[in-house]
Amino acid sequence: MWLVAGFKSPEDILFREDFNRWRDTMNLILTVDGADGEYDGPVGLVTRYIPGLELENPSLAKANVVGPPAMMRFSVKGLLERGFWEENIWVSYERKMCCGIGKCGHCRIDEVYVCLDGPVFNYTQAKYLVD
């Protein structure tokens, strides 16, 4: 199992204790977009690490992608290039929600209400949810 997590800077890293614990149970890449000279961990966007993930059979692997829209778009692209099947990729559109109960319409994309029908969608559906 792999977890690739990214933050803007070392100061922005959340859940540090959890990441330390998870290192014992899974392959973990914790990266930052940029850092000063004192940081000694991986630097770069999460998409940089997708091609190097050691996977036995990417067509059977599953992925959950959460983050800013551009990161999700390029992460999914990278996963598809690695051989992931669309139905094995899940994306989160949580950022679109406002009221969370389907009343305000802020999250509506076509006939889909992200807060009611999601916010996590299989990529086979999410690829058509363009706003």
pLDDT in tens, the chain (131 residues): 999 999 999 999 999 999 999 999 999 999 999 988 788 889 999 999 999 999 999 999 999 999 998 999 999 999 999 999 999 999 999 877 888 899 999 999 989 999 999 999 999 999 999 86
pLDDT value of residue 83: 96
pLDDT value of residue 95: 75
Token pair in block for residue 43: 């630097």
Report d(CA 84, CA 50) in Å as an integer.
11
pTM (two decimals): 0.88
Task: From residue 61, give the alpha-carbon distance in Å to each of 3, 20, 117.
Answer: 13, 24, 24
> Using a CB cutoff of 8 Å and minimum separation of 24, what contacts does 34-43 make?
34/8, 34/9, 35/9, 35/10, 39/10, 41/10
Report d(CA 12, CA 125) in Å as an integer.
32
